[in-house]
Chain A
């Protein structure tokens, strides 16, 4: 980051976090049992998302961000995947305690829905778009007849700004362009008016000019419906443009979270700083980028102390010995770094 000015507390962020959260994830631990042993791709993750709020979970591949998402919906790989500990509270109900049947009937796709990266694999090529958007409505009992499902599907397609939605109900996925397909997938996700929508890299396969419009669409949908959005992305730019709050994940844990402006203006964790410094920025002419050495640890071979310590320029004996607790930096900004718990902010990375 170029600016390291003292943080300007944003009252809007403060008030939002004071609302009772729609999604409250507490100490979530997900285990994958393989032949070689049990892995913990998600290891004690906690976050909250309020109504009408967007939380961005950013991290690199293998950081556990996608596995966190799948854990929320209990869509873990089988056999071997299970939630080992923690709670996932949606509007006060702990999803980890529900039976598979209850979860499928009343929650998954109904009150908590998901959009994935590749719109083509989310859509079945042999069914019309109207059938596919209408299917969850009928399954969850929100539409009692075919005609009603069609009407509501058309309404959902209209809400994602697909032009002349009634006329397109009988089209097949291949008749839509890439950006329009992602809109159809989003229409499926919002058709049942969920309280929480999880979007896993929803724009990564789109070109920037289309990406902008998708992100704008999510903002509009959120304003209209108040849905809480969890956005998984590896792209700091995408996170900055749409998220109210950001959680940075590294090796299965959230190392820093807080209001977006705080994270970008005043990053506290050395990993967050390194990530922000490593991306080339438009209008910045410097020839060399800041390069973080090494690579993320393997899940099979997790360092004992702070998981970022082996790559951190500020690490000392303590960092290698034990994982640091979260330090509260005010206005919901928290980071897990020994430097913060001891002597305030660490020196610039």
Chain B
């Protein structure tokens, strides 16, 4: 395993109480794989990205990279982390400094590393531009001279040029047009295949996640409610929230009927996370224990678990789920 979140919590004290943006989330990103975090706005997935990138410090829990706790890193180890873990953000207009030339934008992570001379950096910039399908003379221009899709290519080139091992993609295509989205997604897939990169992708578009990721984690109000191989999550979703998300996703098919009864109301506030299962006020299937007790993880398929009281029944939790879980956490 490469990058791991161990029981991460991020609480923000505010005047009106404590916002529990992330409240105990764990997952592991394996080398060469893509892990997707999905959920509605306000579920804590963007806070997760900030924690994994060490832009914010967790309230408790740990981010572990290559066996070492990230918050404890200093000097060489920290510099290596800053090289190995890069990011591409949603808005290609906000993520490139308008006052810097593209060449300098792409060179910035290499300059911060300080182990390459100017010539080597220039060569790497040209290589990176080539990989993302831009001309080498793009390096001399400013960001405003490019379209949104081209800017996102520049953002990808920048992340790539330091030869990282992990790239965290926070909604990398949601600001782009449909026809440009496919270009960027294919580009990211190609780069992953070629360089063996790991991706952590944060997205709200389920079809994109199904298409793009190997493992999926579904977040709701700071909690991970279901996690497992993408195919298993999408083919047989166990948690009522995952089911609702999948059912609500619009499909380009005029004969597909979207149900309106799979979820109640709107996402709650992270200021006042409901007691028991955080999803229970919106769950059409809630019953007695849901409002008092937050359910434990239950294995639902190999490598897949969900947190729902409905899964306590004997026919939905085959074998020894707890045993399977402890295997996962120890591996």
Contacts and interface: CB of A to CB of B under 8 A. Distances in A.
Instruction: Tell me, yes or no, whether A and B come into direct contact in the complex with CB atoms closer than 8 A.
Output: yes
Interface of A: 60-61, 177-180, 207-213, 215-216, 234-241, 243, 260-261, 264-265, 274-276, 278-293, 295-296
B208 A280 contact: yes
30 contacts: A60-B177, A60-B178, A60-B179, A180-B266, A207-B267, A208-B249, A208-B250, A209-B40, A209-B245, A212-B258, A212-B259, A213-B260, A237-B249, A237-B250, A239-B252, A240-B256, A241-B258, A279-B182, A280-B205, A280-B207, A280-B208, A280-B212, A282-B234, A285-B210, A285-B211, A287-B211, A289-B185, A289-B186, A291-B182, A295-B180
Contacts of A280: 185, 205, 207-208, 210-212
B136 interface: no
B206 interface: yes
Contact of B179 (A178, A275, A285): A275
B275 interface: no
B32 interface: no
Given A274-B179, A289-B186, A212 B252 contact: no
A204 B105 CA distance: 31
Interface string B252-295: 11111011101100110000000000000000000000000000
Given A212-B260, A292-B179, A179 B250 contact: no
B163 to A, nearest CB: 24
Contacts of A178: 266
B325 interface: no
Interface of B: 40-41, 147-150, 177-183, 185-186, 189, 204-208, 210-212, 231, 234, 244-246, 248-256, 258-260, 262-263, 266-267
A248 B176 CA distance: 18
A61 B254 contact: no
B204 A279 contact: no
A290 B256 CA distance: 22
B170 to A, nearest CB: 17
Nearest to B186: A291
A285 B210 CA distance: 8
Given A207-B40, A240-B256, A261-B255, A282 B186 contact: no
Nearest to B208: A280
B241 to A, nearest CB: 9
B254 A260 contact: yes
Given A275-B179, A289-B186, A291-B186, A281 B251 contact: yes
A213 B282 CA distance: 14
Nearest to A62: B177
A212 B131 CA distance: 39
A271 to B, nearest CB: 9
Nearest to B175: A61
A284 B244 CA distance: 19
Contact of B207 (A209, A276, A282): A282
B144 to A, nearest CB: 14
Contact of A236 (B148, B245, B248, B252): B252
Contacts of B246: 282
Contacts of B251: 237, 240-241, 281-282
Q: What 4 A-B pairs are tightest by C-beta distance, nearest first? A: A237-B250, A280-B211, A60-B177, A278-B182
A281 B252 contact: yes
A279 to B, nearest CB: 6
Given A264-B253, A275-B178, 4 more contacts: A208-B248, A236-B252, A274-B179, A282-B246
B207 A279 contact: yes
Contacts of A212: 248, 250, 258-260
A203 B11 CA distance: 30
B177 A208 contact: no
A274 B208 CA distance: 17
B3 to A, nearest CB: 23
Nearest to B246: A282
Contacts of A261: 254-255
Given A178-B266, A209-B245, A287-B189, A234 B177 contact: yes
A237 B186 contact: no
Contacts of B180: 60, 295
